[in-house]
Amino acid sequence: MKGKYWAKFLAIITVLAMLAGACGDDDDEVSGEGFTFGMILVGPQNDRGWSQAHYEAGEYLQEQLGATMIVLDKVNGADRPEITVDQVVDDMVAQGAQLIFATSDDMKDGIELGAANHPDVPMVWSSGDSAWADGEGYRADLDNLGNEMGRMYYAKQIAGCAAGLTTETGNIGYLGPLINDETRRLANSVYLGAQYCWSEVRGEDPAALTFSVNWIGFWFNIPGVTLDPTQVANDFFDGGADVVISGIDTTEALVVAGQRSDGGDAVWAVPYDYEGACEEKPEICLGVPYFNWGPAYLEVTKSVIKGEFAAEWNWFGPDWDDLNSLNTSGVGFVEGDGLSDDSATALEEFIDGLAGGDIVLFTGPLNYQDGTPYLTDGEVASDHQLWYTKQLLEGMIGASASN
């Protein structure tokens, strides 16, 4: 009898364990059937840059969850001067959106107003700091507005390293958008990566590297409003640069470099934002640092579907074990065909150094452009110091603020 009861007991335990496992699997396999989310894009959804990366993250949510996306692109004062972000929010909520993504720093006022007007609808302002309790823009009253942003400074350091390994003239141009904390942080990241690989890897004189920044005035070209990025890129090359790195949402730097290369110039470019950006001119593309919003947006959307959403500030990073995994890595870098074999090897060693913590470029002593200390000797930048970057770094050429 004892053996019979023991066998029954083990059988019951086994069934319970199987049921527990099945429940766990059900919890992970969230269904988005009948769930609708809104995606507000600042530029065209096919810009091969920032906005397309967000749009494809929306497609990723549809594929993973079976949810439905409502999307409106070109939401900016030049393309759609008749509408505001809060009006777009109103319209999307009226269409049944149960979650809304506002995907530009420029959307701050509109998405905060939209969140206040619809306190029961979860929203995400990508690149913002409204949900960061230690942030300068914290809004404790907007408990339905979270923030998502990738630690792009890592991938920008990789981009800078690729440029520093490749340049033959020691002259690098950076095509910048508008000027704010984010764009200064990323320009600084490129500079530090370029300087490290120019001097520490190649053994060149640090003072012999010229790194110039020119800002066009917005995230992409608006004729009559911004500087023309095509002209700015050409000016860099005319001034002796042989690598131009893009910080804007679109691919003019790569297009211009391709035209120059077709004319016989030894030049290269690094686009930005979108994984497939090198495809426009792969042979002179050194690589592309890009955002992969899908994994972070998937977690947010699942939390809303399960009724567990909480407004959080999430500054997500790369998956160093698989840098270009579309399911796990929020920030990636795809090496371009323009990178030589030797440079590719050196770049991979640099990436390993970042991943393992052996290379930490935001470590003092570092000064701002005007000579004031940014990081003291041996000091490693905190998230707050990185996020709120007030100037370009000493050694960089270009404006740290708008006139």
Q: Which of 246, 248, 237 is nearest to 270 (CA)?
A: 246
Q: What is the DSSP letter of 336?
A: P
Q: What domains does the chain contain, in order, with CATH numbers? A: 36-150+293-316 (3.40.50.2300), 153-290+333-387 (3.40.50.2300)
- Give the global pTM: 0.90
Over residues 127-162, the pLDDT tens digits come to: 999 999 999 999 999 999 999 999 999 999 999 999
Does residue 326 surpass a pLDDT of 70? yes
Averaged confidence pLDDT in the chain: 93
Mapping DSSP to helix (H, G, I), strand (E, B) and coil, where does residue 100 land?
A: strand
Structure confidence by residue, pLDDT tens digits, 223-282 = 999 999 999 999 999 999 999 999 998 999 999 999 999 999 999 999 998 899 999 999
What's the DSSP call for residue 222?
-
How buried is residue 252: exposed, middle or buried, by Cβ count under 10 Å (0-12/13-18/19+)?
buried
Distances (CA, A) of 156 to 186, 246, 311: 6, 10, 28
Region for residue 298 given its phi and psi (left: phi exceeds 0; alpha: psi -120 to 50; beta: otherwise): alpha
